[in-house]
Amino acid sequence: MPKQNPLLLDLPMPIQTSRLLLRPKQAGDGETASLAISETWEDLHHWMRWAEDPDDFSAEKMEIRTRQAMARYILREDIQLVGIEKATGAQVITCGLHRLDWAGRLCDIGYWVRKSAQGRGFASEAANVLVRYAFGPLEMKRVALTCALENIPSKRIAERLGFVFEGLQKNAEILPENTNTDRLVFARLDATDLPELDVQW
């Protein structure tokens, strides 16, 4: 593929399935994000390095983070998306493509589902969408999914979506309060044989 400045990439948005609409973060999302984090704090504080202090996630501070995410999206440094359930209009998942390496066409998938929407398959669906999008419009060559050794739900999603287990990295996953644990590394090199899903962008 000819080299292209990532700033010139047109990213087709939103991305839709029958249940979800995924779109970039936008001004005004901060309050909703703050409520979702508060609702899901116990889970996030267990697995997400950034979930250290709940006072860091007030509506105002989340609006600042939202606008920073918008800037990184415009610069094509990070693609942070919110997932809205079409039937209810509720924001049910935050997900995205991170650690973007445009020269090598590499990225990682990330996601978390708010507590009230867990157990309904939104994480698997969003990850399925992101794999298709990464290997489609973004023309990635590798998409990684990593998680803590003990994070069984994420491990199951990787396996369900056909990610290949590449290995275990000792003490490579950093959890809140700077606790180290082992990291599982999964990857896909294309979007073939994913679970069937109707996706449009």
Q: How far apart are CA 134 and CA 109, in angstroms?
A: 9
User: What does the DSSP assignment read for 52-104?
Assistant: S-GGGG-HHHHHHHHHHHHHHHHTTS-EEEEEEETTT--EEEEEEEEEEETTT
Q: How far apart are CA 16 and CA 39, in angstroms?
A: 25
pLDDT at 172: 96
The answer to whether 200 and 20 have CB atoms below 8 angstroms apart is no
The answer to whether 17 and 199 have CB atoms below 8 angstroms apart is yes
Q: How far apart are CA 196 and CA 125, in angstroms?
A: 10
pTM for this predicted structure: 0.94
Of 47, 186, 36, nearest to 114 by C-alpha is 36
Q: How far apart are CA 189 and CA 142, in angstroms?
A: 5
> Which of 1-5, 101-105, 134-138 bottoms out in mean pLDDT, i.e. has the lowest?
1-5
pLDDT tens digits, one per residue of 137-189: 999 999 999 999 999 999 999 999 999 999 999 999 999 988 999 999 999 99
Phi, psi of 17 (to 5 degrees): -120, -175
pLDDT tens digits, one per residue of 37-46: 999 999 999 9
Give Cβ neighbours of residue 152 (< 8 Å, ≥ 6 apart): none
Strand partners, 164: 187
Per-residue pLDDT averaged across 48-64, rounded? Answer: 96
Mean of per-residue pLDDT scores for the chain = 96
Query: CATH for 13-188?
Result: 3.40.630.30
Give Cβ neighbours of residue 121 (< 8 Å, ≥ 6 apart): none
pLDDT at 4: 80
106-113 and 142-148 as β-strands: parallel, antiparallel, unpaired? parallel
The total number of residues shown for the chain amounts to 201
Structure-token pair, residue 44: 């996030």
Cis amide linkage into residue 14, ω under 30° from 0 = yes
Per-residue pLDDT averaged across 84-94, rounded? Answer: 98
- Please check the confidence at residue 16 and state whether its pLDDT lies above 50: yes
pLDDT at 1: 47
Element at 171 (helix H, strand E): strand 164-175
pLDDT at 2: 56
Position 3 confidence tier, pLDDT thresholds 50, 70, 90 = confident
